[in-house]
Structure 1
Amino acid sequence: MKLFALTLLAMLAFAANSVLNRLALAGELIDPASFAVIRLFSGAIILGLIVLAQSSTRPALLSTKRGVSVAALLAYMLGFSFAYLSLDTGVGALVLFGGVQITMFAGALLAREHVPALKWIGALVAAGGLAWFLWPTEAAPVDPMGAALMGIAALGWGIYSLLGRGAQNATEDTAANFALAAPLSLLGLFAIGPELTPVGVLLACLSGIVTSGLGYALWYAILPRITSATAAIAQLSVPILAALGGIAMLGEDLTLRFAIAALIVLGGIGLSVTGARKPR
């Protein structure tokens, strides 16, 4: 029961990132670039403190893999923030989550890993559901620029996750990546002039310190105690939790189109996860 509660808490933290970002931008409390910058700097500080408290070793900062990881993290952070200028909370989370799974599936193909038939079917179902949802319609339009930006974020997080597989200490690596990405994220401020309010800064700090820094640290502490299939299935709850948060805190509508798309995408990912499990 304790492990279940901790897992749920981590999933709530991931979903809260979408809610906090959308809440800040929809209320025009902060610009998207500043939100990403503050999120990265505050996340780097809390993760750095956790690493200092837990370990005497320091991760290598300079390597090709580290450089790609930092670039992927920046793509995720900036794409994520700018996408929520126009996307509803649940919509953004669904595009992000579906895109990450598709990116990781493509990574498995490029690495020539064995892909079971059920995983193929699940990936195609998820991709089809996402494509159907994003297809332009007059009844329930999805902003194409916002979807494209969230697609960039999904690609970045997918690549980041692929590179992070097998890390000996994921928290240390994440702290190092945040520390290097934070100063580079300042370049994003050239794309849009900073617009800050105290509440907007507070929301960005909450996203960086609590739902990103502490949330990631909690998740990496849980991962060794659960199977990879359980971890993947648990993350299926994130878009749903984000959508519920958007409805409760931002008054967003839960459309039938989103509900159907979520069932298709998450069902496809569930099939893919089932197909990835090794027989005993």
Structure 2
Amino acid sequence: MLQACLNGSRTKDFHAFTPLSASELATDAALAIAAGASELHVHPRGEDGAETLEPAAVAAAIRAIRARLPQTPIGLSTHAGIAPGGAGRLEAVKAWEVLPDYVSINLIETDAPEMIRLCLSRGIGVEAGLWSVADAERFVALPEARQTLRILIEINEQDTAEGLAAAAGIRTVLARASLDVPILQHGFDATKWPLYQDALMRGLDTRIGLEDGKLMPDGSEAEGNAALIKAAFHMARVPPKIVPEMPAAG
């Protein structure tokens, strides 16, 4: 499964075609799915362009995408930096009237178990985001671990060797736990393509999109999300020489 991660916390200063509004997300999502992606991961934005879990903005984004792609699974992020932030995120999710198919929840965050339980109780699938061995150990100890939709191995290290080692450590913890839950592995900026290649080699699900980096495998800037998706499918057939991507500013 190849998931398209369309925007994340990126802005148009990062890439001119970063989709922000509900209509932009819907248009870009349709292009990404046409290019071959199977599912979507998006970060709805408020009127100010900032990430938000506010119910009206979430509903607008989901409705706009579903109007174009009624059969495509849609996932959202719940990371702690998204407004309203902190414990307020739980109250925002409780107030959602239009529900995504799933959400990603980072185990590094203190309230991750509470967010997992809340989303499962509302019938929302959970992607458990693991950044480290410590996250993996915390996750496998949860009673809800086997109820999750999938596990995300999310590598933030910018050195390729360090990133691959971090992913291997997480996979070792998961293997010991024998959870039988699908795994999606991805990198970020400099490790985006190396971790994608590693996921292909291991038969894991993965994702590509502007949230994880704007460069093509040859180091040129992608025209947009659809171009990144097409490059990912080409890489699955013809592994390229990868030019490391520079980390995002800030």
TM-score (norm 1): 0.22
Higher helix share: 1
Pick the structure with more strand per residue: 2
**Please, what TM-score do these two structures have when normalized by structure 2?**
0.24
